[in-house]
Structures are given as C-alpha cells and as structure tokens.
Amino acid sequence: MAKNKPSPYNVINLQEYDSQRPLIQVRKLVKTYKSVAGEFTVLKGIDADLYAGEFIGVIGRSGSGKSTLVNMLTGIDRPTSGEVLVGGVEVNKLSEGQLAAWRGLNVGIVFQFFQLLPTLTLLENIMLPMDFCHRYSLRQRRLRALELLKLVELEEHAYKLPSSISGGQQQRVAIARALANDPPIVFADEPTGNLDSKTAETVFHLFDGLVAQGKTIIMVTHDTTLAKLVKRTVLLADGEIVNNWVFRALPTLSPDLMLKATKEIEVLRFNPGQPVIQQGQPSNNFYIITSGGVEVVFRQADGSEIVITHMDPTQYFGEIELVQDRSAIATVRAGESGVEVIALDHQEFEQLLAESDVTRQAIADVVRKRTDENIEARGGQS
C-alpha cells in the first residue's frame, strides 16, 4: 500500500497505471449471504488484477457470481472479507458518503434494465449525475448532455421522455448517462440482455469506441458471441475465477472442468534455449504457453536439426505424447526470450478428456494435424 493513499474525492489519474500497475486489484474477496436456509457463499476468495484501457468481459453461468463481483468493484455491495482497490482507493473501507463521491467522479454504471427516470427527459436524465457531482457549470452540463446524446446518435430525441423511445435507444441513453461525469471506468451489467442481436452489436461497438478513447470497460454478459469479441475475459465458475489461459486454450471444456484444471495447473519457466520436452524422452505434462514462445525442433540421425514450427501464448503442446502414450517425437525448447507455461500432469489431462467428449475430439484432431506436419517437415519420415 502507498503511504499517501489516493482520496475518494479525486478523479483517478489513469496516467499512473500501466501494464505493470493494475488499475483494479481484488484480493482474497469473499461474499457470503445469510438467509433462513443458511449461509451461501457466492464469491470464494477471488484474486484478480485488471488494467487501465482494457475491455473486459465477465462471463459465467447464472449464479456464478458475475454481478456480485461487479457490485463489489463499484461499492454497491460490500465483501464479507478481502479487499477491493480501484485506483489505489480501498473501496470496501469507504463510508456511504465517500462511496457516493468516489462513484460520481470515477465510475459509470450501465444496468440491464436502463433505470432511466420516467418523468425526466433524456437530456435531464443525462444531466442528473452532473447535478449531483457539481463537476460542470449549468451551461456546461446542458451542452455536455447534448454532446453525449449525439455520441449515441439520439440528439434529436433530447426532449422526449424514456417511454417514447425503444429499449435499444433507452440503453444508449443509459450509456450516455454513465459517461456524464467523464469517468475513467465504466461497468456494464448485462447491458445487452434485453436487446435484439443487432442492437446489442451496436451497443458493443459503442463500448469498443470508448475503449479506443482510453476508457476501461468491464462488461458482465451471458452473450457468448459478444464475449469472444472483448480483449480479455474473466470467466467465473462456482464463485471462483477460471485461469484465463485455460479458458483461451481449451474453450470446449465446461466452466466446471476449466475451474478444475485451474486448481491443478503448475506455473513453470524455462530460460532461452532450455528444452521443455526432449525428443526421444517421455513427456508427462500438457503445456499451455502464457508468455514468450517455443520452437519445435526435430533432430535427424546425422545430428542436424529441422525447425518444424514456432508457438506463442495460448498455444499448447505435449498432447501428442500424452494421447499416443509415447516418447516425444520432437524437442520443444524455449525461444529467444524464454517461455512461461502452465502445466497439467498426465493424469489430470486424461481426466479432463474423459469428462469432455468434445474436447477429446478437438485434441485428437490437433494430434493428427500436428503429426502430419511433423512428418512433412522431415521429408516424409514417419
């Protein structure tokens, strides 16, 4: 923690945050609800770092903890234990008054059901957050609200009531309202849940444009099509975060199996040129590259080498040896900058395939393709 803690009454300075310093830090976050039926834990010790300028999709099945996590990040709800730091501010320790001031300046929130005030015009709905925070003069508030309506292509409807426009248009007004005080972070909880696919795509591209302008967008969505378009995905399963590399490398696994793999992986690092798998030797792990890269090399009988391919982050290797239960058919060694991988042992890998027919078939297809490429690269030698 920094000695001089950022004030909740100041706007987050995004210039202070980069790829080395996360904008949002979540540490050992737990949320438990109590009811007459007993206690139910929705979030189970979550750790996460989110960075400035990212477009992040938070996905997961119903009840996985998506909306609860966003409520923790925005201060709408408080954790049972753990901490949430946004722009260096410990959100979970702020008073209600401090939270209101901090949210008004730093966070825009877009809800699934719009939540526009029905008796106010669209222009007045957008001006409301500015009225609360007194960030602009009265004249500036009106001009800014009109500019935001223009941004969402609804300026001609400025003086209409929400009931006189469509649901998709109301959602765009809600986005404009979330941007009223020019917050550095925008949270959107199922913003396309009640929209048709075409309107949902329009909303997504609006968010994408905001990220291009430097905003950080965190969007909860059940729409798998939209989730594939964001730059980074946070997948929740049973109140825990699935490893992002497992999710990206093995998308055919169910969320529960991804979480199971997450709990079993081991992080390994190899120096430049160091072999991860050695040709002719047994290989007992399945590897997913998380940073750096590797080259796959076949050593011929005369000692010369053939470089078969290079592999980068999200790609995996080791599956041929495990599926075919044989020694390595080539050497896989760290590239010029070294490599970091996550590894699953033979037993865990086999268990995943046994529980997911579609993943087993996908891996089998990759094995056939890569074996053919290997044979072709060495001139047809099987």
pLDDT at 316: 96
SS (HEC) of 280-334: CCCCCEEEEEEEEEEEEEEECCCCCEEEEEEECCCCEECHHHHHHCCCCCCEEEE
pLDDT at 379: 67
Q: Among candidates 232, 323, 342, which has minimal Cα distance to 283?
A: 323
Give the sign of the dihedral formed by CA 240, CA 241, CA 246, CA 249.
Answer: positive
pLDDT at 378: 67
**C-beta of residue 149 within 8 angstroms of C-beta of residue 123:** yes
pLDDT at 4: 67
pLDDT at 274: 97
Q: Among candidates 120, 117, 127, which has minimal Cα distance to 148?
A: 127
Share of the chain above pLDDT 90, in %: 65
pLDDT at 160: 95
pLDDT at 382: 53
Q: Which residues does residue 309 pair with via DSSP β-bridges, in sequence order?
A: 296
- Helix axis angle, 96-106 to 122-133, nearest 10°: 120
Q: Is the pTM of this model over 0.95?
A: no
Ranges of residues in the chain with a pLDDT under 70 are 1-4, 378-382
* 260-377 matches 20-241 in CATH topology: no
What is the SS3 assignment for 110?
strand
Q: Are strands 285-299 and 305-311 parallel, antiparallel or unpaired?
A: antiparallel
The residue extents of the domains of the chain are 20-241, 260-377
Assigned CATH for 260-377: 2.60.120.10
In sequence order, which residues have a C-beta less than 8 Å from that of residue 109 and are 6 or more positions away? 74, 76, 103, 178, 186, 187, 188, 189
- Could you say which architecture CATH assigns to the domain 20-241? 3-Layer(aba) Sandwich (3.40)
Amino acid at 380: G
pLDDT at 347: 94
